[in-house]
Amino acid sequence: MKPFEKKVWLATPTMHGDELAYIKEAYETNWMSTVGKNINEAERIVAEMIGVQHAVALSSGTAALHLSMKLASIKPGDKVFCSDMTFAATVNPIVYEGGLPVFIDGEYDTWNMDPASLEKAFELYPDVKTVVVANLYGTPAKLDEIRAICDAHGASLIEDAAESLGATYKGKQTGTFGDYNVISFNGNKIITGSSGGMLLTDDIDVANRVRKWSTQSRENAPWYQHEELGYNYRMSNVIAGVVRGQLPYLAEHIAQKKAIYERYREGFKDLPVTMNPFTADTMEPNYWLSCLLIDKDAMCKQVRSDNEAAYIKEAGKSCPTEILETLASYNAEGRPIWKPMHMQPIFRMHPFVMADGDGRCRTNAYIDCGKADSVNADIFHRGLCLPSDNKMTETEQTQVIEIVKSCF
Ligand SMILES: *Cc1c(COP(=O)(O)O)cnc(C)c1O
């Protein structure tokens, strides 16, 4: 096999032409700031598509998460339960407000926050009032169960649907299950504005507060009058033009991503691996990234320090490090699973809760817990994300499958 001449990417933006027309319209009418028709239309279309009353366009998903923390009234020292195996942007905004993230282990059915571990966390910390759940790689978490646990404990739920735009759970769009919901238009998401994000809510007062905070919190006065802390978090009308142009293609992108996922599943059916899972009777993912998990007894020896990885090659077995290095040698881009937050040096002193045992682990699950690995450490150890770009051709994907096979 020869290396790919054109790099095969994990996920890149897919433009259609309408984006440029809307950018041009903003330019020609001189609506080049943070007000204009593109913003209004992008907000209207998203609210209608997702089935929420209000969508507020912001500069990023991270900004939307930050304002969600303010809406949830996180105060310095407040503990907040959150997904552990996710992009750091799910968690950092808790810390911006002085909150203390408490990481919750995952489950094997969807790779998301484990409801049993969340329940355990409320036993350990009954006073916690906020939960942040992410839908990993476009697969919804067990959102009904998580919502019910939050309700039972009087906690508000922030749904980080940054990766799951267009995915449904029990027939309902993700980004509607939280009290505050977040989507992202970052450059490698399924729909992109090059950057950008939105906060979704059914509450008009919430939407109004977010609009105000995101534009420096001006009061109604003849001059710049301020009673509250403000932020420069509003989406630009140029970016909104890209988003507005992309939105009609969400279903098409999902269909392409689904085809990629299914070809991988078929291609790997004789290998000791499984694809990132979902529960077909309750959910339809958006298939943002296709990932695989190597069976425990098919793992060759792999060790990871903070900055490096090494493995020992073994016939019939493989490991994420070997597959990622081999893909790279053929000019194809894969990625490790998000390294769990409880294993990150910056968060090592934060509590981490697992459903079994005493449910509590204060540092890295491998080193200090003295008990079985957490679900998340295990998925990080055995899993990886495959090239999932919707412009990848079938021929290219067939070669990716052959490359992965050659590692075993
Ligand atoms: C991309 C992403 C975000 C952040 O979105 P930005 O728009 O890049 O700020 C938050 N959470 C998750 C899970 C993400 O994947």
Distance from C-alpha of 94 to C-alpha of 89, rounded to nearest angstrom: 9
Amino acid found at 240: A
Ligand 1: centre distance to CA 65 (Å)? 9
Ligand 1: centre distance to CA 85 (Å)? 13
Q: Is 86 in the pocket of ligand 1 (CB under 6 A)?
A: yes
Q: Is 241 in the pocket of ligand 1 (CB under 6 A)?
A: no
Strands 309-311, 302-304: parallel, antiparallel or unpaired by DSSP?
antiparallel
Q: Is 26 in the pocket of ligand 1 (CB under 6 A)?
A: no
Q: What is the pLDDT of residue 365?
A: 43
Ligand 1: centre distance to CA 292 (Å)? 21
Q: Is 84 in the pocket of ligand 1 (CB under 6 A)?
A: no
Write down how long the chain is: 408
Q: Is 197 in the pocket of ligand 1 (CB under 6 A)?
A: yes
Distance from C-alpha of 156 to C-alpha of 101, rounded to nearest angstrom: 15
3-state DSSP assignment of residue 8: strand
- Whose Cα sits closest to atom 6 in ligand 1? 61
- Measured from the Cα of 64, ligand 1's closest atom is 9
Q: How far is CA 174 from CA 166, 273, 278, in A?
A: 7, 28, 14
Indicate the top mutation candidate among 163, 192, 286, 335 to test ligand 1's pocket, ranked by most ligand atoms within 8 A of CB: 163
Domains of the chain in start order, with CATH, are 18-248 (3.40.640.10), 250-406 (3.90.1150.10)
Q: What is the pLDDT of residue 193?
A: 97
Name the CA radius of gyration of the chain, rounded: 22
Partners of residue 291 on adjacent β-strands: 385
Q: Which residue has the tokens 């922030």?
A: 158
pTM of the predicted model as reported, rounded to 2 decimal places:
0.96
**Do the Cβ atoms of 103 and 117 come closer than 8 Å?**
no
Quote the distance between the C-alpha of residue 384 and its chain's center.
Answer: 15
Query: Within 10 A of 249 (CB to CB), how many other CB atoms are there?
Result: 18
Q: Is 164 in the pocket of ligand 1 (CB under 6 A)?
A: no
Q: Is 90 in the pocket of ligand 1 (CB under 6 A)?
A: yes
Ligand 1: centre distance to CA 61 (Å)? 5
Q: Is 160 in the pocket of ligand 1 (CB under 6 A)?
A: yes
Indicate the top mutation candidate among 58, 59, 62 to test ligand 1's pocket, ranked by most ligand atoms within 8 A of CB: 62
Indicate the top mutation candidate among 10, 87, 135, 246 to test ligand 1's pocket, ranked by most ligand atoms within 8 A of CB: 87
Q: Is 83 in the pocket of ligand 1 (CB under 6 A)?
A: no
Ligand 1: centre distance to CA 87 (Å)? 7
Q: Is 389 in the pocket of ligand 1 (CB under 6 A)?
A: no
Q: Is 162 in the pocket of ligand 1 (CB under 6 A)?
A: yes
Distance from C-alpha of 380 to C-alpha of 374, rounded to nearest angstrom: 10
Partners of residue 385 on adjacent β-strands: 291, 335
Give me the tens of pLDDT residue by residue for the chain, a chain 408 residues long. Answer: 899 999 999 999 999 999 999 999 999 999 999 999 999 999 999 999 999 999 999 999 999 999 999 999 999 999 999 999 999 999 999 999 999 999 999 999 999 999 999 999 999 999 999 999 999 999 999 999 999 999 999 999 999 999 999 999 999 999 999 999 999 999 999 999 999 999 999 999 999 999 999 999 999 999 999 999 999 999 999 999 999 999 999 999 999 999 999 999 999 999 999 999 999 999 999 999 999 999 999 999 999 888 899 999 999 999 999 999 999 999 999 999 999 999 899 998 899 998 876 656 554 444 444 345 789 999 999 999 999 999 999 999 999 999 999 999
Backbone φ/ψ region at 316: left (φ over 0), alpha (ψ -120 to 50), beta: left
